[in-house]
């Protein structure tokens, strides 16, 4: 059975804002490079969600949904992203995304 991956509206908005922030704060010199970063990130999610075993999300993240699991994505030496999702059968709803710079204190 094929996996279905759905991004919550808030997550779509997060990715739109991420492109702007990465470029405006000078993390990337070109908008196209920021877009590639975002595309690599979303491609990773589509490829590995449901393939990599999810871990139970810390209780702090319950505000984003019930029974959340997460996988991580190491984007570079300094940034690890956490992708929080709900799963029902082979449907994966991506509910929230955070990184180690803002959420590390919630992980043991």
* CA dist., res. 10 & res. 59, Å (int): 20
Which CATH number does the domain housing residue 63 bear? 3.30.2310
pTM equals 0.94
Q: How many domains does the chain have?
A: 1
pLDDT digits over 57-73, tens only?
Answer: 999 999 999 999 999 99
Q: Mean pLDDT across the stretch 84-102?
A: 97
Structural domain for 67, as ranges? 4-106
Quick one: pLDDT at residue 96?
A: 98
**Residue 76, pLDDT score:** 92
Helix or strand (DSSP H, E) at 93: strand 91-99
Phi–psi pair at 75, nearest 5 degrees: -75, -35
Report the C-alpha gap between 21 and 73 in whole angstroms.
Answer: 19
* Residue 20 parent element (H or E): helix 9-24
84 has a pLDDT exceeding 90: yes
Q: Which of helix, strand or coil describes residue 67?
A: coil
């Amino acid at each position: 059975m094929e996996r279905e991956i759905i991004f919550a509206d808030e997550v779509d908005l997060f990715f739109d804002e991420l492109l702007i922030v990465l470029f405006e704060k000078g993390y990337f010199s070109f908008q196209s490079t920021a877009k590639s970063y975002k595309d690599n990130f979303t491609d990773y999610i589509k490829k590995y969600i449901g393939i990599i075993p999810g871990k139970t999300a810390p209780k702090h993240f319950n505000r984003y949904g019930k029974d959340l699991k997460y996988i991580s994505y190491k984007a570079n030496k300094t940034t690890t992203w956490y992708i929080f999702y709900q799963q029902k059968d082979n449907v994966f709803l991506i509910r929230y995304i955070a990184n180690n710079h803002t959420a590390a204190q919630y992980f043991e």
